[in-house]
Each structure stands twice: as structure tokens, then as C-alpha cells.
Amino acid sequence: MVTEFEVEEGYCKYCDLLYVGTHTELPAEGMIGPNLQAFFTELKHNFAGSYGRISDFFESLTGFSFSHTAINDCMDRVAGQLEPSYKEYEEQLPTTSYAHSDETSWPVDAKQYWLWLFVTAKFVFIAIKNSRARRVLTNLFGSFYDGVIISDCLKVYENFAAAFQRDWTHLLRKSHFEAEKYPNRNIAKMHEMLSNMYDDVSNFVKTSPSFEQRVWHSIMYHQKLQRIAGLRWSNPASNIAKALPQINL
């Protein structure tokens, strides 16, 4: 549906400045309205569509066409509208009690960048930086983060936060890889013990336990982890034992 707006404009008789009428559905810039902006944004980011594919798809769907440049400019305007909210979440990061963190390669104009993902109790924050160094963390959280950082074993996270928790997913993935590589070594036994313990914790949480139950089981599972770490493992199991996660229920 195409909507036509009649916009009134004129000059103020008191200050001689130009005024232009507005409407909630009238785009502040360009001819692409808010609904179509949201549609293009959805196609671009949630369906990983290129500007060319979005243009072709929209033309085949509606019979109307927009150039690659018009859609690109539309994305820029949407980003500008969302930037204040993005900055607000960025400012909240240092005040969060914990954050899951991970990073992955992210090419930008054929150059190596990194996508940093932070998951907190209330929001998800993504930052694309040209570095995987510790300065990315200190720029976002400050020189010291007074919370719990939950991540893999990347060295940039060490001694960065008040508490550091290893990520179960990365740990189990690593132990599984080593167990398949050395099936006759006791790393296979460690992987089995860790996997069983992770299943026990997951099933326990699903029962919606009371606070007292969570505290008691947290102590119990923590002691069990300490016993696993304290066993006389041979390499490569000994290296993995140093990276066991904490149990926070």
C-alpha cells in the first residue's frame, strides 16, 4: 500500500524560519516508511539477505522496486534511529552482575574483524570490532569488571572480572574432542564424568528448586567438581581439569 502525504510548510512570521509539517507515519528522510524500513531490516539481518537479493525479492513480491543504494541508505537511517538505545545498553554493561561472552570472526570489507557477543540477565549486546584483544573488554566494561564473566579459555578474560566462570559448552566440546583423539587415555573418563554432571545439573534446574535447594546443591556440585579436578589425570586431561567451571545455581 502506498500512502500519499500532503505536507504543509511555510515561514514563521515572527522569526522568519522555515517550518515543515510532520506525521507519525511520514519518514523523516526519504520515501521508505517505518513499516517498510522494519521489513527491509528483517530481511537484511534475520534472513542474511544482500541488498541485491532484497531488491529482487521485494520487486517480485510487490511489483515495486528500490535500488541497492536506496535500501542501503534505509539501513543507515534505521541504525541512526537505534543508536541511542544501543548506547544506553552499552553504558549498562559495567553495572550488570554477570555476562556470558564469546567472539567470532566477522569480515568487514574483506578485512578481519571480530563480533563480540555479551549475554546478560536483561539484554544481549553485540559489538563488531577490528580487534580480539583485551582492550575491547576494558573499553566496554572498564579496567575491572565487578561481576562474573562467563566465557571460554581465551587469555584476554583472565584477571579481568571479580569472578571468572568457564563456559560449560566450550569445556564439554574440548573434552569430547580430546576423548575422541585419545580414546584409551583417561580423558575419556573425564569427559564422561563431566557430561554426567552437566546432565544432573540441567535436570535439577528444570525442577524449579527452592533457593535453599539451589544453595545446597551448588555446594555439593562444587565439591564434586573439586574432586574431579583433584584426581591424578594425565595430559591432556590435566590441562582441561584446570579449566573446570564454577557451579552457580
Q: Are 160 and 140 in contact (CB under 8 A)?
A: no
Q: What is the dihedral of CA 146, 152, 156, 157, to 10 degrees?
A: 10
Alpha carbon of 93 to those of 87, 122, 146, 147: distances in Å? Answer: 10, 10, 11, 10
Q: Is the predicted pLDDT of residue 117 greater than 90, yes or no?
A: yes
Express each pLDDT in 49-72 by its tens digit.
888 899 999 999 999 888 888 999
Separation between Cα atoms, residue 88 and residue 127, nearest integer Å? 13
Of the candidates 150, 156, 194, which has an alpha carbon nearest to the alpha carbon of residue 174? 194
CATH code 3.30.420.10 region(s) in the chain? 96-165
Give residue for cell 583472565. Answer: 158
96-165: CATH number: 3.30.420.10
Cα–Cα dist 8/87, whole Å: 34
Does position 246 have pLDDT exceeding 70, yes or no? no
How many CA atoms are closer than 13 Å to the CA of 237, on its beta-carbon side? 22
Does the pLDDT value for residue 238 go beyond 90?
Answer: no
Examine the pLDDT at 17 and tell me if it is beyond 80. yes
Please state, rounded to an integer, the average pLDDT across all residues of the chain. 87
DSSP 3-state of 13: coil
Q: How confident is the model at residue 243 (pLDDT cuts 50, 70, 90)?
A: low
Q: CB pairs under 8 A, 24+ apart, for 133-141?
A: 134/160, 137/101, 140/90, 140/93, 140/94, 140/116, 141/93, 141/94, 141/99
Give the SS3 label for residue 186. Answer: coil
Using alpha carbons, select from 119, 141, 116 the residue that is nearest to residue 129: 116
d(CA 159, CA 5): 58
User: What are 82-98's pLDDT values in tens digits?
Assistant: 999 999 999 999 999 99
Give tens-digit pLDDT for 35-47.
888 999 999 888 8
Cβ neighbours of residue 25 closer than 8 Å, sequence gap 6 or more = 3, 5, 33, 34
pTM given for the model: 0.68
* Angstrom distance (rounded) from CA 66 to CA 98: 44
